[in-house]
């Protein structure tokens, strides 16, 4: 199998050169958080999940074998952790639009309020989807992964992924109908 650069770094980590783990962390942490955030709707919980995912890979580093892309391993762990957490949390915290997103973007309070309202609507619609539909949407729509890669990360068939996405989008169409029309 052709090793990508991540896999080469992970291979070196597995051989004891642990300094390279930071490169992998810095390269993929934000994306791991983004996936978890779309699934849980809470930044703090998303960062906990991302940390946990990296910690699990770090703990298992000695037995690493490059049988898939490093990101496939990493995101599969993240997805599994998210699915379990989402099921158990039941109620996703609806934090209001992050201050850093809304503050100082412009001086028009009406536009800011309108943007916040739209963000809250979209967020509520996405977070009300079942966890597996939400995850399929997060990977393909928000993280721009191909269907094949998303299916591999979710450990499901391509057909199952397509079915999840179709249901997710139909649900979103219904939930956001009042905003679109």
Partner 1 sequence: MRCADARKLMWRAQDSALSEIDSDALNGHLSQCAECIAERDAVTQTMGLLDAWQTPQPTRNYASFLQRVQRDQVRRQKPAFRRWLAGGLATASIVCGIGLGFLTAYPVEQPVPSENELASAIGLHTFGDMIESAIHYDPDSTVGVQNGKEIDL
| Shortest CB 164 distance to partner 1, Å | 7
| Interacting positions 32-91 with partner 1 (CB under 8 A) | 33-34, 37-38, 43, 45-60, 63-65, 67, 73, 76-77, 80-81, 83-85, 87-89
Tell me, letter by letter, the H, E, C secondary structure of 21-57: HHHHHHHHHHHHHHHHHHHHCCHHHHHHHHHHHHHHH
d(CA 10, CA 153): 18
Cβ distance to partner 1 smaller for residue 12 or 80: 80
| Shortest CB 5 distance to partner 1, Å | 18
Using CB under 8 A as the binding rule, whether residue 20 contacts partner 1 is answered as no
Closest CA relative to residue 68, chosen from 127, 148, 137: 148
| Shortest CB 13 distance to partner 1, Å | 12
- Total residues binding partner 1 (CB under 8 A): 74
Cβ distance to partner 1 smaller for residue 58 or 108: 58
**Dihedral angle at the C-alpha atoms of 22, 23, 28, 29, nearest 10 degrees?**
30
């Amino acid at each position: 199998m052709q090793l990508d650069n991540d896999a080469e770094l992970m291979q070196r980590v597995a051989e004891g050169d642990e300094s390279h783990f930071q490169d992998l962390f810095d390269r993929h942490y934000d994306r791991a958080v983004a996936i978890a955030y779309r699934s849980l709707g809470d930044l703090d919980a998303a960062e906990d999940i991302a940390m946990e995912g990296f910690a699990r890979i770090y703990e298992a580093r000695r037995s690493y074998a490059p049988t898939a892309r490093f990101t496939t391993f990493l995101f599969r762990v993240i997805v599994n952790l998210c699915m379990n957490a989402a099921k158990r949390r039941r109620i996703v915290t609806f934090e209001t639009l992050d201050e850093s997103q809304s503050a100082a973007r412009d001086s028009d309070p009406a536009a800011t309020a309108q943007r916040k309202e739209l963000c809250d609507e979209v967020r509520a619609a996405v977070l009300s989807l079942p966890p597996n539909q939400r995850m399929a949407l997060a990977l393909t729509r928000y993280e721009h992964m191909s269907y094949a890669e998303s299916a591999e990360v979710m450990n499901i068939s391509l057909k199952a992924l397509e079915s999840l996405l179709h249901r997710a989008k139909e649900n979103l169409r219904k939930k956001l109908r009042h905003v679109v029309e």
